[in-house]
């Protein structure tokens, strides 16, 4: 092109400098020993270890590469091998075969490792309710479009495409979440999970819960009348003609009385400010094991909407929606590795914000896509000399100060 010369260089220049941060967790001795303890690959056998396989694939996902064939891009990458402590990077065929051979033992190691990593960061992730810190367990189904494939387990989802519909939970399932510490657990779920068996199961496990009721088979009049007769009445300060009634009640479930919260919104005007001849009503009912005030319950439930943003980050930002294998168990392992990486990238985002050097206006967290685009894909020059490994980054790049600060 005019005014530009294109030249080649033998200097090692890579576009994934921040792999060093992910590798710092993946190269953990405890992670290594857990996998090797259950591995069937003998030491010094000349075969790539299971530990190397798992590290390689998690590293690929961190770079937005989820297809098995993507590993071929890094087979001659000196930096990729060095930062992950790999003697060699395996072929795509071997990667697929080895991952498809893994079962429950490997899955359990991945789950245990996730818990251990979360334990280090859980203190700042609790929410205080009435001066008590709680771990919030947000769960929701998220359809994953795998249309046009013949993968094991694919079926029609409620979104009317073929795929999978896993229940995504943050922080994981109850059994794992309770391992994170002594904090009590509060599960928040939408109306798709309104089930008396689930409510009683939570009580049996000692977990608190807020679950929105599904009222399609019930008349809303009894809830509306009770709330309007006995509840706290608040006129909306933001919109004219809207009144909200908050009340607490109880429902009996198989001999046990469970608190519920009722929120009734009365609309006397439409969105254009015109009066309704007959007021319109919206009724929301929640299982509320903590017997919190109905206003608190409504606020906590509406915060639950953030978990849907996490779905988007997991499926789209990490490109996890189209699962790579035709075998269900292999895809389960893939999801576990994606889960580990999702948490690692969130940790990285928190550490970047803590430096106070992240450019632009930022909220309380960085979106996964922001971390991937600006940090994980940051270019650098890799130099290995006299047993010292160095990466050089462009000093005028806006994200360089916070990147460098993580090394200090």
Tens of pLDDT, residue by residue over 102-141, are 999 999 999 888 888 877 776 667 778 888 888 777 777 8
Rg (CA), the chain: 26
Choose the final residue of a domain: 271, 290, 309.
290
Same domain for 362 and 280: no
Q: Is residue 161 part of a domain?
A: no
Same-domain status, 247 and 336: no
pLDDT at 328: 92
Q: Both tokens of residue 53?
A: 């396989």
Note whether 356 and 278 are same-domain residues. no
Rounded to 5 degrees, φ, ψ at 135 are: -85, 125
Query: Looking at the structure, do residues 278 and 350 belong to the same domain, yes or no?
Result: no
Residue for token digits 């607490």? 248
The answer to whether the CB of 77 falls within 8 A of the CB of 380 is no
283 plus 341 within the same structural domain:
no
Asked if the structure places residue 164 within a domain, the reply is no
- The residues pairing with 133 across neighbouring beta strands, listed in sequence order, are 128
User: Which pLDDT tens digits describe the chain residue by residue (408 residues)?
Assistant: 568 888 788 888 888 888 998 998 899 888 889 998 888 886 667 788 999 999 999 999 999 889 999 999 999 999 999 999 999 999 999 999 999 999 999 999 998 888 888 777 766 677 788 888 887 777 778 888 999 888 999 999 988 889 988 877 765 555 666 666 677 888 888 888 888 888 888 888 888 899 999 988 888 899 999 999 988 998 887 778 889 999 998 888 888 889 999 999 999 988 888 888 899 999 999 999 998 999 999 988 887 666 677 888 888 888 898 989 999 999 999 999 998 999 889 889 988 998 999 998 887 788 889 999 999 988 899 998 888 889 899 999 999 999 999 887
**Residue 6, pLDDT score:** 82
- 43 lies in a domain? yes
Same domain, 330 and 241: no
What is the 3-class SS of the chain, one letter each residue? CCCCCCCCCCCEEECCCCHHHHHHHHCCHHHHHHHHHHCCCCCCCCCCCHHHHHHHHHHHHHCCCCCHHHHHHHCCCHHHHHHCCCCCCCCHHHHHHHHCCCCHHHHHHHHHHHHHHHHCCHHHHCEEECCEEEEEEEEEECCEECCCCCCCCCEECCCCCEEECCEEEECCCHHHHHHHCCCCEEEEECHHHCCHHHHHHHHHHCCEEEEECCCCCCCCHHHHHHHHHHCEEEECCCCCCEEEEEEEEEEEECCEEEEEEEEEEEEEECCCCCEEEEEEEEEEEEEECCCCCHHHHHHHHHHCCHHHHHHHHHHHHCCCCCCCCCCHHHHHHHHHHHHHHHHHHHHHHHHHHHCCCCCCCCCCCCCHHHHHHHHHCCCEEEEEECCEEEEECCCCCCCHHHHHHCCC
- Residue 191 inside a domain? The answer is no
pLDDT, residue 315, reads 86
Closest by alpha carbon to 90, among 40, 39, 46, 56?
56
Judge if 282 and 347 occupy the same domain: no
191, 212 in Cβ contact below 8 A?
A: yes
Give residue 174's pLDDT.
58
Tokens of residue 194, six digits: 């309104």
pLDDT at residue 274 in the model: 87
337 close to 58: Cβ distance less than 8 angstroms? yes
pLDDT for the residue 79: 92
The residue from 273, 290, 307 where one domain ends is 290
285 and 339 co-located in one domain: no
Q: Of 290, 314, 340, which marks where a domain is finished?
A: 290
Task: Measure the CA–CA gap between 376 and 266, rounded to whole angstroms.
Answer: 49
Residue 373 forms part of a structural domain: yes
Tally of domains within the chain? 2
In a domain, 146, yes or no: no
Instruction: Kindly report the length of the chain.
Output: 408
Q: Is there a domain that residue 258 lies in?
A: yes
Q: Is residue 173 part of a domain?
A: no
CB atoms within 10 A of CB 85: 13
Domain region containing 399: 12-110+325-405
């Amino acid at each position: 092109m005019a005014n530009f010369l294109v030249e080649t260089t033998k200097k090692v220049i890579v576009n994934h400098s921040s792999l060093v941060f992910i590798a710092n967790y993946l190269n953990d001795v405890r992670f290594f020993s857990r996998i090797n303890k259950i591995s069937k690959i003998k030491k010094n056998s000349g075969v790539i270890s299971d530990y190397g396989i798992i590290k390689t694939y998690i590293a690929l996902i961190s770079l937005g590469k989820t297809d098995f064939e993507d590993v071929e891009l890094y087979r001659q990458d000196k930096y990729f091998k060095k930062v992950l402590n790999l003697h060699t990077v395996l072929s795509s065929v071997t990667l697929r075969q080895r991952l498809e051979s893994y079962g429950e033992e490997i899955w359990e190691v991945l789950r245990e490792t996730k818990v251990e990593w979360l334990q280090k960061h859980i203190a700042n992730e609790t929410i205080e309710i009435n001066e008590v810190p709680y771990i919030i367990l947000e769960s929701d189904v998220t359809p994953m479009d795998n249309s046009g494939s013949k993968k094991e387990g694919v079926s029609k989802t409620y979104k009317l495409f073929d795929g999978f519909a896993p229940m995504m939970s943050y922080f994981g399932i109850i059994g794992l979440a309770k391992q994170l510490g002594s904090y009590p657990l509060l599960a928040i779920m939408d109306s798709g999970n309104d089930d008396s068996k689930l409510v009683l199961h939570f009580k049996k496990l000692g977990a608190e819960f807020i679950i929105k009721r599904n009222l399609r088979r019930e008349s809303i009049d009894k809830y509306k009348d009770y709330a309007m007769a006995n509840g706290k009445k608040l006129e909306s300060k933001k919109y004219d003609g809207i009144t909200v009634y908050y009340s607490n009640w109880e429902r009996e479930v198989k001999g046990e009385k469970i608190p519920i919260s009722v929120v009734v919104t009365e609309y006397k005007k439409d969105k254009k400010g015109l009066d309704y001849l007959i007021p319109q009503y919206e009724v929301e009912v929640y299982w509320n094991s903590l017997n919190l005030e109905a206003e608190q319950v409504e606020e906590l439930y509406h915060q639950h909407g953030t978990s849907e943003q996490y779905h988007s980050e997991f499926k789209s930002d990490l490109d996890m929606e189209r699962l790579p294998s035709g075998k269900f168990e292999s895809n389960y392992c893939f999801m576990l590795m994606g889960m580990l990486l999702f948490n690692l990238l969130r940790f990285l985002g928190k550490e970047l914000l803590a430096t106070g050097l992240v450019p632009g206006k930022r909220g309380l967290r960085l979106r996964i896509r922001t971390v991937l685009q600006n940090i994980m894909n940051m270019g650098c020059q890799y130099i290995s000399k006299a047993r010292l490994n160095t990466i050089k980054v462009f000093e005028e790049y806006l994200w360089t100060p916070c990147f460098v600060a993580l090394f200090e």
